[in-house]
Structure 1
Amino acid sequence: MSGHAIEPARRLTGEVMLPGDKSVSHRALLFSALATGKSVIHGLSAAQDPKSTVHCLRALGIEVHEERNTTEVIGRGTRGFSAPAAALDCGNSGTTMRLLCGILSGQTFESTLTGDGSLMKRPMKRVLGPLAKMGASISGTPAGTAPIAVKGNPYLRPLRFIADVPSAQVKSAILLAGMYAAGETTVVEPIPTRDHTERMLGLKSFDVPEGRAVTTQGGMSIPAREYSVPGDTSAAVFLIAAASLLPGSDILLKRVSVNPTRAQVFERFRRLGVSLEVVERVTVAGEEIADVRVRASGLSGALDISAPETASVIDEIPMLAVAAAVAGCSFRLRGAQELRVKESDRIELLVKNLRSMEVEVEEYADGFAFGPNNAVIGGRIGTAGDHRIAMAFGVAGLVVPGVILDDASCVEVSFPGFWNTIDRLRSH
């Protein structure tokens, strides 16, 4: 059987400008489309997921002009979208699909959202339910998955929604739909999630007995503006882990998002003894940005991630778990059932692949655990086309000889040029 064999590295050194943060990129595109006039986005992610958002916006009549590191979007206001001629293909991007559900719920036309095989399996009831309560005619399959049919209602009802599943995508979809409602729409999060939407739109947030609340006003307008997209925090973790595990490594990650709702993963690395320094911190358009220096330190100790913590590091769990296994640390994860409905069943894949590397793993419905001092060996890794699984075990292969990925190309979904970046850092 063919596959992509990972060549072990001695060390990683040098500076890296990471791809633009995916979460910020999606929102910069969508908010620019909702504005009236020209917005300029610097550093937009070149990953496949934001390209899906661009594709859908163009199909909705929005002009998007891309040139080198700058993207111009000619917004037409909240009610300026055109009915698409065909189904809107969101590719692999759950963010594209869910946030567009919120916007399309307030339009005057009908539309359909679809995607690739992976996205068509992901749960959408969590966003369809609250939008239907607001007055949108919106439905998926009987299983609550895509394709999603939306018949817009320009006069939605305001909603106070208490999130039962921590999801920044669902929160953002409801808040965007709230722009088309008469009154104030509020989302309450018992467990806080990423707050890029609140920061970028300047929305009011406050504490309530149930948790943290954020509101949007019906009829609000979004100004055309300039956006500067920071480096992707979730992409940074793969290089942080690699540099930590390889003796003699010393890398500097430039202009990384250190938004407090994203940078909690740095503290998880520090729990394992990683030498990680955040320097040159600045705030640009509400988003905190800094350089991150990582030097080889070796990993030690134990990492226990419980239910209240999972939402803040949900995308970074694959790399945290694999790094802990390679370093001989113990690891325990609970309350992370959301991992089973990501681009793949990440709990199942992580357990299966770690076991193929001779790690003794105990699997739970909502997580997994393994003890210290596993004698990790190389093995054939099944990625199921999941970019984060591929990169996590790709990093393992830099340390452990004999790692073979069945699909290395899927990393383009979130980190274009990942393998070239690794090769450049190892060549110094």
Structure 2
Amino acid sequence: MIKSVSGAGSLKGTLRLPPDKSISQRAAIFSLLYEGESRIGNYSQAQDPQSTLRCVQQLGAKVKEDSGILIVEGKSRAGIVEPKQDLDCGNSGTAMRLLSGVLVGAGISAKLIGDASLCGRTMTRIIEPLEAMGAHILARNLAYAPLFINRIDSLRPMDFELPVPSAQLKSCILLAGLFGEEKTRVIEKLPSRDHTERLLDLDQKKEKGEKIISASLADEIPEQSYTIPGDFSAAAFWLVAGVIQEDAEILIENVGLNPTRNALLDILGDMGADITIENERMEGAEPVGNIIVKGSDLKAIQIAPEIIPNCIDELPILSVAMLFAEGTSTISGAGELRHKETDRIMAISKMLKAVGANFEEQKDGLIIHGDPEFTFQSAEFDSFHDHRIAMASAVLSLKGKEDSMIKDAESAAVSYPAFWEDLHQLTG
């Protein structure tokens, strides 16, 4: 689908965002491990969480919906069943990596498959530590899905130092560790998203600047009954759309404000953005609030490697903010972007090139020479079937003088099914 987006003189309105994908998927998987009924409010209807939910059902969970509440009857760690068919993770790397940990820990044989994009992403990072725990895993070219996970009789606990700050890798090892008699410990030098630790209430401690998270059979799996907050990664598009538009005021309600996810708030704040947070509160284990964003005068910023894990998903849209900031901005240490749904550094470069931006592509990032007065007539954008590139291109299109075109715009539905309707609401 090709979508046409017109330039906008103003952006006004109130939005409620789609549920957080990362939390939704964890809620489904952790509900499977819990023995009993969990009631999950605002579960995501996006493709990835729905793929995860179907996999959880194949592993024995019973799922039904009642008045908008997803009810999942979990089987406990001991009650997980061997699936009769392949576990199709769709486009979800979260599903494939987290479920691999569950299957290895539970001693369940299964085949994990996915779409072409997912099967093009390396799984080496989870295969190697899981095999060190005793797993038997067959993978295409030793690295790619489909993954064949074969039954093991016993799990070897381990101390695992995260080689990169990856929440999916961390969660995979901890989930396998939940089935061990002895503790498995994950040692984290740089912070990554902490939803797994929060939702499972795992033991955490700090030693010499490192965080150590432990998991074993002794950990009681908590009931997963809470309301999923709005996805901060979805809010990011409207935060940037608001700050780069001179006449803008957008209220975004019930947004997840997890401190390991919302570095973009601090980044935009340092750039001079007019952003206010109201009604901060807790929903289960996660902080939530309302965000008000208004048109702002932005200045350039340098994004250091240690900040990248906390804003990795927001870098495509952050590059748009940098384009309209005064001065030269840099993103470095973001090589992980080249291994997402597409090579996102390449895709961002193509997006910027389409409007005639002044920038340089680096191996692990970008240098963007911003200008608050930057203008362009129109552009044709290729989303590369990547939801975040499609939505970032749409926000950039709002600054065009004429209509711009976005190829494969339907990819936004992977994380934000109502994106185009919300865009119309703000510009209407």
- Kindly provide the amino acid, as one letter, of the partner of residue 418 in structure 2: G
Partner of 1:398: 398
Deviations 1:315-374 (A, max 9, x none): 000000022214565321111110000000000111122112111221121111121338
Deviations 1:227-270 (A, max 9, x none): 21111010000011111122221111111111111121101111
Deviations 1:55-85 (A, max 9, x none): 1112222211134531010100012122112
**Pairwise CA distance, 1:51:** 0.5
Residue of structure 2 aligned with 1:318, choices 316, 319, 335: 316
**Pairwise CA distance, 1:210:** 6.4
Partner of 2:27: 28
Aligned length: 425
Where structure 1 has 5 or more consecutive residues not aligned to the other structure, the ranges are none
Matching of residue 261 in structure 1 with residue 260 in structure 2: yes
Confirm or deny: 8 A CA contact 2:319 2:368 kept in the other structure.
Answer: no
CA distance in 2 between counterparts of 1:105 and 1:410 reads: 32
Partner of 1:385: 385
CA distance in 2 between counterparts of 1:157 and 1:376 reads: 58
CA distance in 2 between counterparts of 1:309 and 1:68 reads: 40
Confirm or deny: 8 A CA contact 1:159 1:184 kept in the other structure.
Answer: yes
Confirm or deny: 8 A CA contact 1:201 1:222 kept in the other structure.
Answer: yes
Partner of 2:241: 242
Partner of 1:116: 115
Tell which deviates more after alignment, 124-133 or 243-252: 243-252
CA distance in 2 between counterparts of 1:184 and 1:60 reads: 24
SS of equivalent residue, structure 1 residue 129: helix
CA distance in 1 between counterparts of 2:327 and 2:114 reads: 38
Correspondence list, 1:18-417, <5 A: 18-67=17-66, 69-153=68-152, 155-209=154-208, 211-298=210-297, 300-327=298-325, 329-373=327-371, 375-377=374-376, 378-400=378-400, 401-417=402-418
Confirm or deny: 8 A CA contact 1:230 1:255 kept in the other structure.
Answer: yes
CA 108–187 in structure 1, closer or farther in 2 if over 3 Å, else same: closer
Q: TM-score, normalised by structure 1?
A: 0.96
**Pairwise CA distance, 1:225:** 4.1
Partner of 1:419: 420
CA distance in 2 between counterparts of 1:165 and 1:145 reads: 19
Confirm or deny: 8 A CA contact 1:155 1:182 kept in the other structure.
Answer: no
CA distance in 1 between counterparts of 2:67 and 2:420 reads: 21
CA distance in 1 between counterparts of 2:135 and 2:241 reads: 46
CA distance in 1 between counterparts of 2:194 and 2:123 reads: 21
**Pairwise CA distance, 1:297:** 1.8
SS of equivalent residue, structure 2 residue 51: helix
Deviations 1:288-336 (A, max 9, x none): 11111111224x2112111111011000000000222145653211111
Confirm or deny: 8 A CA contact 1:276 1:293 kept in the other structure.
Answer: yes
- Kindly provide the amino acid, as one letter, of the partner of residue 406 in structure 1: K
- Kindly provide the amino acid, as one letter, of the partner of residue 295 in structure 1: K
SS of equivalent residue, structure 2 residue 152: coil
- Kindly provide the amino acid, as one letter, of the partner of residue 211 in structure 2: R
**Pairwise CA distance, 1:413:** 0.5
- Kindly provide the amino acid, as one letter, of the partner of residue 238 in structure 2: L
CA distance in 2 between counterparts of 1:320 and 1:258 reads: 18
Identity of aligned residues (%): 37
SS of equivalent residue, structure 1 residue 270: helix
CA distance in 1 between counterparts of 2:253 and 2:354 reads: 35
- Kindly provide the amino acid, as one letter, of the partner of residue 65 in structure 2: E
CA distance in 2 between counterparts of 1:138 and 1:199 reads: 29
- Kindly provide the amino acid, as one letter, of the partner of residue 307 in structure 1: P
Deviations 1:29-54 (A, max 9, x none): 11111101110000111111100101
Tell which deviates more after alignment, 159-168 or 369-378: 369-378
Confirm or deny: 8 A CA contact 1:154 1:180 kept in the other structure.
Answer: no
Tell which deviates more after alignment, 307-316 or 62-71: 62-71
Deviations 1:160-185 (A, max 9, x none): 10011211001001001001112111
CA distance in 2 between counterparts of 1:40 and 1:292 reads: 27
- Kindly provide the amino acid, as one letter, of the partner of residue 412 in structure 2: V
CA distance in 1 between counterparts of 2:393 and 2:142 reads: 32
CA distance in 2 between counterparts of 1:331 and 1:84 reads: 49
CA distance in 2 between counterparts of 1:88 and 1:96 reads: 10
Confirm or deny: 8 A CA contact 2:106 2:176 kept in the other structure.
Answer: no
CA distance in 1 between counterparts of 2:121 and 2:154 reads: 29
Deviations 1:78-134 (A, max 9, x none): 121221122111011000110000000022431011101110011211011111111
CA distance in 2 between counterparts of 1:333 and 1:143 reads: 32
Deviations 1:116-153 (A, max 9, x none): 11100112110111111111112322251111111133
Confirm or deny: 8 A CA contact 1:155 1:180 kept in the other structure.
Answer: no
